[in-house]
Amino acid sequence: MLRKEQNDLLTQTGPGTPMGEMFRRYWIPALLAEELAENDGPPVRVQLLSERMIAFRDTEGCAALIEEYCAHRGVSLWFGRNEACGLRCPYHGWKYDVTGQCVDLPSEPESSGFRASIKLRAYPLIERGGVLWTYMGAPEHQPPLPEFEFAMVPPEQTYTSKRLQYCNWLQALEGGIDSSHVSWLHRDAFTSDPLMVGSRGNQYNMRDMQVQFEIADQPAGLFIGARRNAEAGNYYWRITPWCMPSFTMIPPRGNHPVHGHFWIPIDDGNCWAWSFDYHPTRALTPTELQAMLDGKGIHVKTIPGTYIPVANRDNDYLIDRAGQKVGKTYSGVAGIGMQDASLQESMGPIVDRSREHLLTTDNGIIIARQRLMRAARALAEKGTPPPGVDPTTHRVRSAAVVLPEGAAFAEAAADALRATEGVAHRTV
């Protein structure tokens, strides 16, 4: 369990908070590239780390992320006209370029020089792997761009989606590093989900429900090893990398694509759940892509024109009680993504962790919390950069392997846990 002040430290990410300042040392996903597909297209509202912003792509194709409100009277620039390399407020015509600089102030003579003093807060917005990434920290600390493998492979080998989740980012992250629930909550997917079926590892998941956890350090965070019994003298290991602050990669099944998540705070009570699938050595097949679009695997069907799940808290996640009774779905909620989200959201916007009763299967969660608190405090008190900022630490993989009893998983699977171009992932 955590004390209230520890829970607050971990869950609050607004400007000036220790965890918020730590998040601002990383490049984080802000938008799918498809959301700003058009030069001079409509601006898009963006809220990250409790900051309200507007994104737009100007006449020359430059992507911008600036604070939402006009410096004149506080009008939302979502209503702005995107024209001639700038976003113009429709109220009185003040116009801003991609750096947030006011470039036209029609009511003032140019000779006054007043326009030059008006500049909105702006952050870089850079495309990589179909994602527009932003860095919201001090410019002098800006690291090189991220190098997670899903964003570095050719476009035909990767697919990324996002959805709104109504809870704090840490609840979602903790679900992402908890392999013990898979044999319960997601058990129906082993025989029905086209992005999971056919893996020998599925059998191990269902045969051994008393999973054992071991944790190993890695430069960006942790490797979380979930061990189950395999054939005599061997263990089946599912190894999840966690890269600080909020990247997780799910161990693969068979020759299916590898998948994973980013959990990005919108504010303290809501987050974006980013989900990706990729294959290191081949293009995704049309069947795989269609399954992802249909909300299979870790992806979710969303309401057209939004990133709100079709099954959501307002309709009780379309829970099927009859199907739950006969085992169609163990929880009654369809789909891996919404099975997770429904239970994580049920805890409330920010769960009271002082009331928990944790077990050895929660060791990954416990140690991740300790790492986060230690890193946030070190940054706040000493200016120590947090782990995982250096993009060379992003070149990790998840793995599913069978190892002999007694083998230290992180050492025995070291090659499998390293992203190597042109080399397939290790899977069972």
Q: φ and ψ at 3, to 5 degrees?
A: -75, 160
Is the pLDDT at 27 greater than 90, yes or no?
yes
Would the pLDDT of 182 be above 90?
A: no
How far apart CA 42 and CA 40 sit, in angstroms, is: 7
The answer to whether residue 115 scores a pLDDT higher than 90 is yes
The domain made up of 27-141 is a member of CATH 2.102.10.10: yes
- Tell me which long-range contacts 334-338 makes (C-beta under 8 A, separation of at least 24): 335/295, 335/296, 335/300, 335/301, 335/311, 336/186, 336/189, 336/193, 336/297, 336/298, 337/163, 337/273, 337/275, 337/295, 337/298, 337/299, 337/300, 337/309, 338/300, 338/309, 338/311
Residue 93: its pLDDT value, please? 97
pLDDT score of 290 more than 90: yes
Q: Would the pLDDT of 376 be above 90?
A: yes
pLDDT of 313 over the 90 cut: yes
Predicted confidence (pLDDT) per residue in 224-268, tens digit = 999 999 999 999 999 999 999 999 999 999 999 999 999 999 999
Tell me 35's DSSP state.
G
The string of DSSP codes covering 266-287 is: EETTEEEEEEEEE-SSSPPPHH
- pLDDT digits 0-9 by tens, 386-423: 999 999 999 999 999 999 999 999 999 999 999 999 99
Domain ranges, ordered by start, for the chain: 27-141, 149-412
| pLDDT score of 179 | 79
The helix/strand/coil state of 194 is coil
Residue 297 has pLDDT above 90, yes or no: yes
Lowest mean pLDDT among 158-162, 271-275, 325-329, 363-367: 325-329
Query: Whole-number mean pLDDT of the chain?
Result: 96
pTM of model > 0.85: yes
Domain 149-412: assigned CATH number: 3.90.380
Query: What percent of the chain has a predicted confidence (pLDDT) above 70?
Result: 100
3-state secondary structure of 297: coil
pLDDT of residue 327: 84
> What is the number of H-type helices and E-type strands within the chain?
12, 19
- The 10s digit of each residue's pLDDT in 198-207 is 999 999 999 9
Residue 277 pLDDT greater than 90, yes or no = yes
Closest CA to 273 of 186, 203, 360, 338: 338
What does the CA dihedral 262, 278, 56, 42 come to, rounded to 10 degrees? -110
Half-sphere exposure of residue 367, counting CA atoms within 13 Å on the CB side? 20
Q: Which amino acid is at 240?
A: T
Q: Quick check: 378 and 372 in contact, CB under 8 A?
A: no
Is the distance from CB of 66 to CB of 83 less than 8 angstroms? no
Cα–Cα distance, 293 to 106 (Å, whole number): 46
Asked whether this chain's domains 27-141 and 149-412 adopt the same fold, the reply is: no
pLDDT at res. 183: 83
